[in-house]
Amino acid sequence: MNENKDQPFFLYFPTTIPHENGEALENQRIEVPKIKQEFQNNNWSVEQKNYATMITLLDDYVGRLLQQVKDLGLENDTMVIFTSDNGACPFEWNILLECNGELRGYKRDLYEGGIRVPLIIKWPGKIQQNCESDHISTFWDYYPTMCEIGGVQTTNDKLDGISFLPTLLEKKQNTHEYLYWEYHFWEPSRQAVRFGKWKAIKNTPNSKIELYNLDLDINEKNNIAVNHSDIVEKAKKILKSARVETELYPLKK
């Protein structure tokens, strides 16, 4: 920021926290230099105290970055985006601290607790303070969004992403016909699709489709597939057509 304060710049800060150290011993996987004073007397496990400390450290880092922007006189000319790559892991410290709130599932699940993440954007003079949007976007929307903000013409007319700049500026927004996910970490593979309020999940290639109305059931507790055969059929077609079969990522049975 110091070196580029007099010209447009892009800073990508991919912090590793909050995250566990998978190579460490059990009950020692959340590592911090020192437990913060405000958590030391809590009736929590060491891992929970370390995790809370880790979140606080991230807060501190973001605060230092924002303070530097302000100190350089760039606060009113800088767009700041804060987001995450996935939901919390299903570990004791996440579960007991209710890190996913009311959402079902955790990292590597295709329920909302695994794939819905926070997105906070600050852009003085462009975005109104304290406003919210229900526009459904995803990470492959970032490239066209950043290009449009920077006045850069995208060279690929076959992008899956859609710029969400109109939403930020409270203008008419194009939307996705659907969003599709598949995940191969677990055996068997998992698939999910969302279109509008409907979310369909197939947890194995041979399992029946689960269907949820996210407008009414953000917790994904009520599988209503049997009541909406037409929506299930639409989901089936998308789950089949939205992907290209490949030996690298086959749908494992």
Interval 178-198 mean pLDDT: 92
Residue 251 is predicted with a pLDDT of: 85
| Domain locations along the chain | 37-135, 179-241
- CA nearest neighbour of 226 among 214, 247, 209, 201: 209
* Residue 102: band (very low, low, confident or very high) from pLDDT cuts 50, 70, 90: very high
Residue 247 is predicted with a pLDDT of: 87
Residue 191 is predicted with a pLDDT of: 96
Residue 69 is predicted with a pLDDT of: 97
* Residue 218: band (very low, low, confident or very high) from pLDDT cuts 50, 70, 90: very high
Look at residue 155 and tell me whether its pLDDT is greater than 80.
no
Q: What is the CATH number of domain 179-241?
A: 3.30.1120.10
- CA nearest neighbour of 210 among 199, 201, 219: 201
Interval 162-188 mean pLDDT: 93
pTM for this entry: 0.89
Look at residue 156 and tell me whether its pLDDT is greater than 80.
no
Interval 151-167 mean pLDDT: 87
Lowest mean pLDDT among 102-106, 109-113, 116-120, 158-162: 158-162
pLDDT digits (tens, 9 = 90+) for 13-57: 999 888 888 888 877 888 999 999 999 999 988 888 999 999 999
Chain centre to alpha carbon of residue 132: 16
86 with 110: CB under 8 angstroms?
A: no
* Residue 249: band (very low, low, confident or very high) from pLDDT cuts 50, 70, 90: confident
Mean pLDDT over all residues of the chain? 91
Look at residue 190 and tell me whether its pLDDT is greater than 90.
yes
Residue 63 is predicted with a pLDDT of: 96
Q: For residue 199, what are the β-bridge partners? A: 194, 212
Residue 20 is predicted with a pLDDT of: 86
Residue 45 is predicted with a pLDDT of: 86
Look at residue 193 and tell me whether its pLDDT is greater than 90.
yes
Question: CA 138 to CA 119: how far, in whole Å?
Answer: 10
User: Does the bond joining 188 to the residue before it have cis omega, within 30 degrees of 0?
Assistant: yes
